[in-house]
Structure 1
Amino acid sequence: MDCSVRYTRGVGPGRAALLERLGIVSRGDLLLHLPRRYLDRRRITEISALEVGTEATVRGVVAVSGERRTRGGRKLFHAVIEDGTGRLTLTFFNAGYLARRLSKGVRLLASGRVEAWSGLSMAHPGIDFLDESETSELEGGAVIPVYPLCSGLSQGVMRRLVAGVLDDLRGSVPEVLPPSVLAGGGFGSRWDLFDAVHRPSSPGEAESARRLLALEELLVFQSMLSEIRAAAVLEASTPIAVPDGGMERFFSALPFSMTRSQCAVVEEILSDMGSATAMRRLVQGEVGCGKTVVAAAACWACACAGRQSVVLAPTEVLAAQHEKTLSRLFHGLPIRTALLTGGTPARARRAILEEVASGETDVLVGTHALLEPGARPPLLSLLVVDEQHKFGVEQREALLRGFTPRPHMLVISATPIPRTLAMTLYGDLDLSRIEEMPPGRGVIRTRVVGPEGRARVFRFMLERLALGERAFVVYPLRDTAEGSDLRDAVSGWEALRRGPAGRYGVGLVHGAMGASEKLAASEDFAEGRTSVLVGTTVVEVGLDVPSATVMIVAHADRFGLSQLHQLRGRIGRGGGDAWCFLMSDGGASAEARERLAELERTGDGLEIARKDLELRGPGDLAGTRQHGLPLFRVADLCTDSDLVESARALAADPANAVTEREIRWRFGESGAPGV
């Protein structure tokens, strides 16, 4: 299976390059490139038997096609297909390449909702083009796989390549799952699973095989996490021994009382750090639940023991916010903090590093540059990582390399994640949850508002500004050059500062601004020089402004639910009530509006995360699409979440040990096959 796909029959250099675009570089990768769906004759309905209002798949031949303009000037393409029992009209707006392919005589399958419009019709149906061989296979009752492709590859080519590799590897595919698990699903070997998922006798058989391949993939991943955890037990770290009364001094200096849940999490952290084995712990909790003070308690414990801490933030703005918050929490205590970012002037940087090297600085706050050898504190014992980095397992491992002894690691996350997903994405860490919110948080009222209510919402904002309160206005884009006709943050800022809100001061912050510009805009807002902050989701993290009571999110249907939930966590921090307005586009679908209504119904972050997981998938929820967390090739953490526990149980049994080569192939840094 580790043989390059270039040595497969029918694959030359050109085709190998096309396959590589799909992530296929070995024969094993080809077998793991699973069909996205199947064509099944038993699910095909004759046109004469179609019922209006139902979903159906029909097979037919294009009899006539053409294009016309509607009264509104839009291009409407239509194709009439026949199957010998009747006719069905397929309609498309902006058909693009389909208009060129849907010519007379073309064989196809069309899937969609049946409507009664000038006879039977389907609007924007899914289309599968059939060649003669596929037509005959369907006639013979075969179930035909449909693969994800890229330009230059056809379904026929992909099916032939997969079939060739399956035939070549019969009897020589290394096993991963125990025989009893395979037999329980009705299969004898791993090869049987691949054969059933690519050449099934029925869609049900294909799904059974896919589920076992998903279990296999999760088993390999859990085995990797088990190895990491086993190695972590052997990692020597400096035990943190806090003198008697040390923690009580910190707690009594706080201007508030910590919640029972916060205290319980601090106890877990102190217990971990008191060991000679390096701590690896994740602290999760809602926005505003008090995770920073928990991290501060850990940093104070290190300082009491004569050791140093690093707090790692994803951006300079958030680093500055963390340093300011920590300084406030440590007020009156003998502990020194310092901020070091890329924007720190050279002279100040040298002075800070000298104080760090001498041990005068106890807590160093900054961005990823703090991990460079010249910036590492010599007495480092605690590394606090803000999870907005969205680091994966491998990235967390890389953070700790080069430190001897290993520092304790505390990962802080404001993203509520369902337990099964957390077990997978953070399986190398022990998990603590802050379950309760501190007293004094106001009620955040959330409302979904259509275009007709826009003026009313902005009038309400002006009323709150007149009372001395502040407001966020959030847009999904920085400017329209990013590829959309949506109103953008820059034009929204310009409109607000020219209007009635302008007299209160309107700031702008977005990801493309320089760090110093973002920091200046954020500080202006935090200190009251501006009362409105317009921006993109950069305001999702870092800004703690107690007087901010209004948030308006434009084009809210373009955001994920968890992202919106975190955004609204930026308001209502001063004890009074707050209002979050989710502005829905006029063209938003009923499904999109219903999705937003979930935020009106509940403020439970975990419940919202579960809904987001169903709608958007784990990749978007946890940031894996952009940040290197595992993207499973087979397992779907929405539909296969029940398999996570099974995989953990299998991985705990030494008899089910997975080879290092299998782990490297699936989840190694290079991604290269090694099975």
Structure 2
Amino acid sequence: MGPSSLDTPLVYLKGVGPHRAELLKKELGIQTYGDLLAYYPFRYIDRTRFYKIAETTADLPYVQILVRLKSFELIGEGRKKRLLAQAIDDTGEIELVWFQGISWVQKHLVLNQVYVIFGKVNFFNAKAQMAHPEIELYQKNALSRGNLKLQPVYSTTEKLKQHALDAKGIQKLTANVLDSCLQEVINLLPEYVIQQYKLVPRAQALYQIHFPSNAEDLRVAQNTLKYEELFQIQFRMLRAKLIRTQKFKGHIFDTVGEKFNRFYHELLPFPLTNAQKRVVKEIRTDTQRGSQMNRLVQGDVGSGKTVVALMTMLLAVDNGFQACLMAPTEILATQHYLSLKALLKDDFVSIALLTGSTKKRERAKIAAMLESGELSILIGTHALIEDSVQFKNLGLAVIDEQHRFGVEQRAKLWRKNFIPPHVLVMTATPIPRTLAMTLYGDLDVSVIDELPAGRKPIETLHLFESQRLRMFGFMKREIAKGRQVYMVYPLIQESAKLDLKNLLDGVETMRHEFPLPKYQISIVHGQLKADEKEFEMQRFVKGQTHIMVATTVIEVGVNVPNASVMVIENAERFGLSQLHQLRGRVGRGAEQSYCILMSGDKLSKDGRTRLETMVKSSDGFEIAEIDLQLRGPGNIEGKEQSGVMELKLADLAMDQHILAEARKTVIKIFEEDPQLEKPEHQCLKILLLKSDTGITLNKIS
């Protein structure tokens, strides 16, 4: 396995040099020949036709015109200096003007020569003008790459443009790399996969995506590279899963015993939905295989994930093991503890809570009970992964809202036992299927897509600022019924001070409508200390305040059954998934609940779509799909997710079919040839050496 030219630092490429190489690294993250090949054009300009000067209008996009250069001169001094040229064709005259790079352009202009000019035509005093056109000598039979066909356009920056690294400059460098290295590009996909999906060899795809001969060649090149990109992500994830199932033995839960049966037949407060039954069955199957379970349970707010987690914990206890549940915050851990205690009614299972606030004496007691095996279920926060917490026989770890924990934190929990515990991950963030396959491709995914019978859907209304008094009147009527209200303001990092001012101004206005002492208001925002926040939250939880006003997103999972109204101020500034999460804070009791989306009168197209979606749909997965199409996959819950941010070409909203096919192919390969021993799979071994989806390749020797 020798080094490839594609790993060569860009500084050695003709036309780059140390200064430009450093700029490309800083501005675009491009460091090697391979990085440059993986820097794809973001659009293409059709250069297949010429316009006449008389045909051009101000409405046209960028056009190319064949002209003869009539004259050119330098005008002005200093910063006002510009190069002005007059050009003609058989239908009229056009003025060309350059404000930058003047000496370089002037050096290449020759009177009476025919040029291809390319740019946006504007009109000044009815005269056609083109500012900063691209210009090159017309050669009738030239097949110059990108000249008269589909021209690639690359994203660039002002700094790069100052060093002649505009789209055209990047195009030239890419052409140099292709000239010197294209023969070294090897296929990462097996030949039969390329044939089956009508793809093309990798070298051909890379050439055609930068310099397409026609629209069809471009489509096939894009399709090939998208498939390859999604294939690589699935390959890495499914291989990690394969290694885990082979390497990590798992405890076998083969008994459905007294605890599980008693809870199911006597204590369950409502019948399980079909979705809950299906997920419990999937978990039962996982825990009997003899390999470690790693299952993600996705379920909308209120779908009954906690009951499924509890039944799994009771299954572990029935088989002689301990179980734990780790939540990201103290308030959420406490809530899980209280809701599990309420479900279990009496102490037929020993259960304890461990958080940062747990007193020293209580900690020592919990530690002793854990080590002796006397304690069956432990609920807690990060405190669970401290070295002092030692289980006698941990068989199951339930992790709530996994994206809030780091990989190392989760791994510490696994190391609490000689044989790693089964892992059940829960999330209330509905994730579209395509995204789940990418984010959690190494986990088995279960979806609870049904709400328990009898739960009333939350009514959602969209009101404009002019309807604020109507909203206040509604709040008063609900409070008069003994209910409570959340009022949430957006918190956008860039305008945190402005957001806080909006909240404080909002509270000032509300004081007139909701005067003391009749109405009590809790206020929570980022400037408060942790204990002050906790105090205000607890006042609301205990029912001592009627309204909670907050800039921070109300903690995922905060459960106040008496809160029946969620008012979201400036709702157009929130993402769809955020709006859906906030709406889920109400509707937890038996009463009808409401979500009121307040917005300004002027809305962008996307803003209107988001609010209309919220009003018409309460299905978290449908909302997540629309959110993916509106926002793209970059951020889920505001956290960058590895595996998604690496995508250079594929779009998870648009390319779901490609992802599904790629995943299906990878699964089949690992089923039939897990060690990649077949000759046709030797090319895949290179993926084992690659740590990212870039183009840095080695040639197999």
TM range (shorter): 0.7 to 0.9
Structural mapping, 1:520-669, within 5 Å? 520-536=535-551, 538-539=553-554, 541-620=556-635, 622-623=636-637, 625-631=639-645, 632-651=647-666, 652-653=668-669, 654=673, 655-656=680-681, 659=684, 661-663=686-688, 665-667=690-692
Residue 470 (structure 1) aligned with residue 475 (structure 2): no
In 1: Cα distance, 2:253 partner to 2:7 partner: 47
Q: Is the 8 A contact 1:472 1:551 kept in 2?
A: yes
- Equivalences for 1:292-307 in 2 at 5 Å? 292-307=306-321
TM-aligned CA deviation for residue 634 of structure 1: 2.2
Q: Provide runs of 4+ in structure 1 moved above 6 Å.
A: 43-47, 81-88, 99-103, 105-108, 116-121, 134-139, 184-187, 391-399
Partner of 2:419: 405
Counterpart in the other structure of 2:303: 289
2-structure distance, mates of 1:87, 1:537: 60
Displacement after TM superposition at 1:539 (Å)? 1.4
> Would the alpha carbon gap of residues 369 and 591 (structure 1) be closer, same or farther in structure 2, given more than 3 Å must change?
same
Contact 1:50-1:56 at 8 Å conserved across structures: no
| 3-state SS in 2 of match to 1:638 | coil
Judged with a 3 Å threshold, the aligned counterparts in structure 2 of structure 1 residues 578 and 243 are, in CA distance, closer, same or farther, namely: closer
1:135 and 1:592 map into 2 onto residues whose CA distance is 47
**Match among 431, 434, 437 for residue 417 of structure 1:** 431
Q: 1:132 aligns with which of 124, 132, 135?
A: 135
Q: Which residue does the alignment assign to 1:32?
A: 38
Counting aligned pairs with the same residue, the percent is 37
* Alpha-carbon distance in 2 for matches of 1:250, 1:29: 58
1:118–1:416 distance in 2 versus 1, CA, 3 Å: farther
Counterparts of 1:59-208 in structure 2 under 5 Å?
109-110=119-120, 130-133=133-136, 140-153=147-160, 154-155=165-166, 156-182=168-194, 189-208=201-220
Answer yes or no: is the 8 Å Cα contact 2:328–2:404 preserved in 1: no
2:223 to 211, 214, 226: 211
Structure 1 residue 223 displacement after superposition:
1.3
Inter-CA distance 628–310: structure 2 relative to 1 (3 Å threshold): farther
| Equivalent residue, structure 2, for 1:75 | none
Partner of 1:224: 236
Letter in structure 2 aligned against 1:228: A
- Measure, in 2, the Cα distance between the counterparts of 1:55 and 1:321: 61
Cα distance in 2 for partners of 1:582, 1:216 equals 42
- 1:20 is aligned to 25
Indicate the larger mover: 602-611 or 463-472: 602-611
Aligned to 1:371, which of 385, 388, 398?
Answer: 385
Q: Which has the larger radius of gyration?
A: 2
> How far has the Cα of 1:287 moved from its partner?
1.1
- Alignment CA distance shift 1:485-1:368 (3 Å): closer
**Cα root mean square deviation, aligned:** 4.1
Residue 100 of structure 1, CA deviation:
9.1
Deviation string 1:285-305 (CA, Å, 9 cap, x unpaired) is 221111111111112222233
Q: Who is 2:80 aligned against?
A: none
Amino acid at match of 1:18: L
In 1, distance between residues paired with 2:515 and 2:138? 64
Offset, 1:117: 14
Change (3 A) 1:51 1:132: closer
Pairwise CA distance, 1:186: 7.1
What is the CA deviation profile of residues 5-29 of structure 1, one whole-angstrom value per residue up to 9, with x for unaligned ones? Answer: 4444444454444333433333322
1:399–1:306 distance in 2 versus 1, CA, 3 Å? closer
Distance 2:274 2:146 in 1: 67
In the TM superposition, residue 110 of structure 1 has moved relative to its aligned partner by: 4.6
Q: Which amino acid aligns with 1:269?
A: I
Please say which of residues 314-323 and 608-617 is displaced more in the overlay.
314-323
| Per-residue deviation, residues 204-233 of structure 1 (Å, max 9, x unmatched) | 433321221110111111111221221222
- Offset at 1:50? 6.9
Looking at structure 1, the residues matched to 392 and 449 of structure 2 have their Cα atoms a distance apart, in angstroms, of 35
How many Å apart are 1:392 and its aligned residue?
Answer: 9.0
C-alpha separation in 2, matches of 1:208 and 1:649: 20
SS of the residue 1:373 aligns to: coil
User: Does the Cα contact within 8 Å between 1:390 and 1:623 map onto a contact in 2?
Assistant: no
Q: Are 1:255 and 2:258 counterparts?
A: no
CA offsets per residue over residues 573-600 of structure 1, 9 Å max, x none? 2122121111122332244213311221
Q: Which amino acid aligns with 2:206?
A: F
Q: Where does residue 110 of structure 2 map in the other structure?
A: none
Q: For 2:258, give the aligned amino acid.
A: G
* 8 Å contact from structure 1 (residues 479, 488) kept in 2: no
2:72 corresponding residue in structure 1: none
2:190–2:683 Cα contact (<8 Å) kept: no
Match of 2:250 among 237, 242, 251: 237
1:246: which partner in 2?
A: 259
Cα pair distance change 1:471/1:192, threshold 3 Å: same
Secondary structure at the counterpart of residue 220 of structure 1: helix
1:259-308 deviations in whole A, cap 9, x for unaligned?
A: 23212312221232233211111111221111111111112222233322
Relative to structure 2, which stretch is displaced further, 15-24 or 327-336? 15-24
Q: Structure 2: where are the runs of 5+ without partners?
A: 1-5, 68-85, 107-116, 674-679
Assess if the C-alpha contact under 8 Å between 1:624 and 1:630 holds in 2. no
Q: How far 1:369 sits from its partner (Å)?
A: 4.5
**How far off is 1:544 after superposition?**
1.4
Contact 1:451 1:583 in 2 (8 A): yes
Deviation by residue 1:488-524 (Cα, 9 ceiling, x = unmatched): 4454345535651654322233466554444333322
TM-score normalized by structure 1? Answer: 0.82
Contact map agreement 1:393 1:425 (CA 8 A) in 2 = no
CA displacement at 1:607 relative to structure 2:
1.8
SS of residue matched to 2:353: strand
